[in-house]
């Protein structure tokens, strides 16, 4: 049995208040659960892959706070079914969602859990990305609900990772020499000239290598690249699970990009033209991750 996406959701900030990564991830997760019509207590494992967060918070694990926000098995004595919820952070930048998919495959294959939730949320440390013109990423969250399918032809294929033979040309860090008293609300993202072109070329190379290794026809494959266009945000779609508040994304999607791209694909692409989907994520390293996916019914 393959591992399939049962539902997905996205969330954007409430502009009336500073943004919280826990609130964004929680809203995206609750949206996915609502569309799948399953309870939070049915989730055995939550994996959080977001990188940027308000106040540059690193402890405690964001996953534990998201688990509490969503209400996943907060009292395993009072609510023992299916079991005590388990959550953890997995940080690998833009490739985080596909890393979590790989971990999820192992957990579902071994019966460690019946349902797994992935959350990806990025928020500028000051709580509002629009206030920092040098920061490229959107305040955005995405969530994927995964479980096993009875269809042996549906679900994710193998996840593969690739590393470019050159130094990284993008990095995000806290500049301790100049941060002063504003360190909790600032971040520096450095990208060398030509970064976008090199990113696209590396993504294309990784996709071609993956297609050759796995043996798939790219002409019949819908490729979801590393950064879906902010101007082509998804419309609400009950089938895909898109969230109504994903009507406008300001900035580049980062760790949540695969979720946004999936919702766009399921909402507006003629399925007769494609046999499967190929997720491609590229980030700092430079590193890339690819995963084949066949939705149920395709």
For residues 121 and 208, state if they share a domain: no
Tell me, what's the pLDDT at 79?
65
For residues 241 and 140, state if they share a domain: no
| Cβ proximity of 49 and 92 under 8 Å | yes
For residues 143 and 202, state if they share a domain: no
For residues 128 and 206, state if they share a domain: no
Interval 29-62: pLDDT, tens: 999 999 999 999 889 999 999 998 887 777 788 9
Indicate if the pLDDT at residue 234 is higher than 50.
no
Place of tokens 């695969």: 258
Task: Single out the residue in 137, 152, 167 at which a domain terminates.
Answer: 152
Task: Give the residue numbers spanning the domain of 48.
Answer: 3-152
For residues 84 and 219, state if they share a domain: no
Indicate if the pLDDT at residue 289 is higher than 80.
yes
Cα–Cα dist 87/261, whole Å: 25
Strands (E), 126-268: 140-148, 155-163, 170-173, 188-191, 221-224
For residues 16 and 144, state if they share a domain: yes
For residues 65 and 170, state if they share a domain: no
DSSP code of 166?
A: S
Task: Single out the residue in 152, 168, 186 at which a domain terminates.
Answer: 152
Tell me, what's the pLDDT at 285?
85
For residues 172 and 71, state if they share a domain: no
Handedness of CA 261, 149, 289, 138 (dihedral sign): positive
β-pairing, 3-11 with 140-148?
antiparallel
127: pLDDT confidence band, cut at 50, 70 and 90? confident
For residues 213 and 234, state if they share a domain: yes
Indicate if the pLDDT at residue 92 is higher than 70.
yes
| Cβ proximity of 275 and 297 under 8 Å | no
CATH number at residue 286: 3.40.47.10
Mean pLDDT within 70-84: 73
For residues 11 and 75, state if they share a domain: yes
For residues 185 and 128, state if they share a domain: no
How many domains does the chain contain in total?
A: 2
For residues 113 and 228, state if they share a domain: no
Interval 144-198: pLDDT, tens: 999 999 898 899 999 999 998 888 888 887 777 767 666 777 788 888 888 888 8
Cα–Cα dist 224/3, whole Å: 18
Task: Single out the residue in 123, 152, 181 at which a domain terminates.
Answer: 152
Cα–Cα dist 202/283, whole Å: 10
């Amino acid at each position: 049995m393959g591992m399939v996406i049962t539902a997905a959701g996205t969330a954007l900030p409430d502009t009336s208040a500073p943004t919280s990564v826990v609130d964004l991830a929680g809203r995206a997760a609750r949206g996915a659960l609502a569309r799948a019509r399953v309870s939070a207590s049915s989730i055995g494992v939550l994996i959080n892959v977001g990188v940027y967060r308000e106040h540059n918070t690193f402890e405690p694990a964001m996953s534990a706070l998201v688990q509490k926000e969503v209400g996943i098995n907060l009292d395993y004595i009072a609510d023992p079914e299916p079991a005590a919820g388990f959550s953890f952070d997995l940080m690998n930048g833009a490739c985080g969602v596909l890393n979590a998919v790989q971990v999820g495959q192992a957990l579902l294959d071994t019966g460690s859990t019946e349902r797994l939730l992935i959350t990806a949320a990025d928020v500028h440390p000051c709580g509002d990305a629009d206030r920092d013109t040098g920061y490229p990423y959107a305040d955005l969250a995405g969530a994927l609900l995964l479980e096993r399918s009875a269809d042996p032809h549906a679900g994710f294929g193998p996840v593969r990772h690739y590393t470019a033979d050159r130094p990284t040309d993008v990095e995000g860090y806290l500049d301790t020499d100049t941060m002063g008293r504003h360190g909790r609300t600032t971040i520096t993202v450095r990208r060398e000239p030509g970064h976008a072109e090199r990113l696209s070329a590396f993504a294309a190379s990784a996709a071609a290598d993956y297609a050759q290794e796995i043996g798939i026809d790219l002409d019949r494959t819908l490729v979801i690249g590393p950064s879906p266009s902010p101007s082509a945000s998804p419309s609400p779609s009950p089938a895909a699970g898109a969230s109504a508040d994903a009507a406008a994304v300001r900035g580049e999607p980062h760790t949540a990009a695969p979720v946004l791209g999936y919702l766009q694909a399921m909402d507006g692409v003629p399925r007769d033209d494609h046999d499967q989907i190929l997720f491609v994520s590229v980030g700092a390293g430079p590193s890339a991750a690819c995963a084949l996916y066949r939705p149920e019914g395709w």
